[in-house]
Structure 1
């Protein structure tokens, strides 16, 4: 007479899979709704907190199911392992955020040493860590050359310029519809002579000092940072300094520092490509 064992089913494996899968789906949904302005920052935080809690609970249930399968030979090992993998994937962004939080525990701005004592623009919060103060750059070049390299880098980095001020007043466009004589009669201008494209409002040449105001956006969440860039020519050298401050965040997890580092490295590359100039840090 033959017999067989009755194998039980690890029911927690199914629950673990449900929690983990829902957490994985909730994270991108929350980000998309935030980018579409359907969620504010506080609701986004609660959404991500809920997703992290569900993923952690799913991970715990998956471990319990795997233990039951291992010890009692229960059915459901494949689903439990799948839930473990999915929950781990959902928890990876939270692990990365925890690492950055430990590395950059305070502060929502960063700047180069040349702007530490300068009052070019209001900042949301002053840097509170030595890591938030970086070294600027100086080049053996004119300020106008560095300004063009900075504009190229800003475009490549996706940083939006909002305003530019220079030490010189930009000349009035000579191709504009002008006035003639003392009665201010408009000078006729042929339509064919008008520029096909709008003039570049930030094309400023031959100044010895520039101050650029811009807005940078963090990847994924697009949190805005207000950026100030100062380019100053002194003798044969031109110095470039930068400040970046989060507009909405109390802690930036090092994002403003990364914005500055990436921008300055981009200016280095642009200057090398233009004239083969080696920056002095």
Structure 2
């Protein structure tokens, strides 16, 4: 009599396998969107579409990985490790953009923020090198100013008890520290000319550009610093311009208090 051994077939969860593949694939898609945009090989809209595709793949990987986890847990199939890895990778990819979007969706649809809506600093050098398809450099007007006051009441100019030249140098040092690309820097000349710095700031991951202009104007007690930051593309800055100005002004006030 021949004895036959019965081997229990160990199945590997297809969902676990595909969720892990999608999680790995979303990484180069997101990275490629940033690299191609930063190098100028992709315009703003295609870069955003590519980024959205990568984030969509990450979301799909997270959903499939979650389902695969419960299936492998209940059936005993292989693949629970890949399912967990897929969810972990997807969460790591989605966490940052999700936080930015969640915060931005609660804010008004603005792309141009300034500390002086009545007399906003004007772009001069940037106006000559501004892409035609980008957002206009003209300040949007009273409706945007009202929305800004309600959403960002802390956006205000900084008055310094320093000479305009000292204020200009302090602002210039902060701009250089932030690694913004300076396109123009005109120092003040007593009471005859305001100082002005124009620069381009980029977002950390994608390198989305915002145009920044900072004005240093003499006052009877020293100097007043106004700033303006405008997103070059898009219909919503998700609060990044206000955050940029608030950070700059806070650092400027702190720096002057040290002296």
- Paired position in structure 2 for 1:170: none
Give the whole-Å Cα distance in 2 for the aligned partners of 1:9 and 1:161: 56
Could you tell me which runs of 5 or more consecutive residues in structure 1 were left unpaired when the two chains were aligned. Answer: 166-201, 277-281
| CA deviation profile, 1:83-110 (whole Å, cap 9, x unmatched) | 1211222222331232232233410111
SS of aligned partner of 1:259: helix
Query: Contact conserved, 2:168 with 2:195, CA < 8 A, in 1?
Result: no
CA contact (8 A) 1:244 1:260 kept: yes
Matched with 1:140 is 161
Pair 1:132–1:117, CA change in 2 (3 A): same
Secondary structure at the counterpart of residue 256 of structure 1:
helix
1:71 equivalent in alignment to 2:74: yes
The Cα of 1:141 is off from its aligned counterpart by 2.2
* Contact 1:69–1:75 under 8 Å retained in 2: yes
Q: Residue 26 of structure 1 corresponds to which residue in structure 2? A: 29
Q: 1:151: which partner in 2?
A: 172
Normalised TM-score (structure 2): 0.80
Find out whether 1:101 has 2:104 as its counterpart: yes
- 1:116 corresponding residue in structure 2: 117
Counterpart pick for 1:268 among 235, 253, 256: 253
CA contact (8 A) 1:110 1:132 kept: no
Per the alignment, residue 212 of structure 2 pairs with 227
**In terms of Rg, which structure is larger?**
1
Aligned to 2:194, what secondary structure does the other structure show?
Answer: strand
Change (3 A) 1:105 1:15: farther
Distance 1:24 1:164, change over 3 A: closer
The 5-angstrom pairing of residues 1-281 of structure 1 reads: 5-112=8-115, 115-118=116-119, 120-121=121-122, 122-123=137-138, 125-126=140-141, 127=144, 128-129=147-148, 130-132=150-152, 134-164=155-185, 202=187, 206-207=190-191, 209-218=193-202, 219-273=204-258, 276=259
**Inter-partner Cα distance in structure 2 for 1:13 and 1:234:** 66
Q: Is the 8 A contact 1:164 1:210 kept in 2?
A: no
Give the SS at the match of 1:103: coil
> Would the aligned equivalents of 2:69 and 2:83 in 1 still touch at CA under 8 Å?
yes
> In the superposition, relative to structure 1, how do residues 213 and 249 fare at CA in structure 2: closer, same or farther (>3 Å)?
farther
Q: Deviations over 1:101-126 (max 9, x none)?
A: 223341011111xx211154243545
Distance 1:54 1:119 in 2: 42
Structure 2 unaligned blocks of 5 or more = 123-136
Q: CA deviation at 1:5?
A: 5.0
**Distance between the aligned counterparts of 2:197 and 2:172, measured in 1?**
11
TM-score (normalizing by structure 1): 0.74
Give the CA RMSD over aligned residues.
2.5
Aligned to 2:130: none
Q: Supply the distance in 2 between the matched residues of 1:33 and 1:124 (Cα, whole angstroms).
A: 30
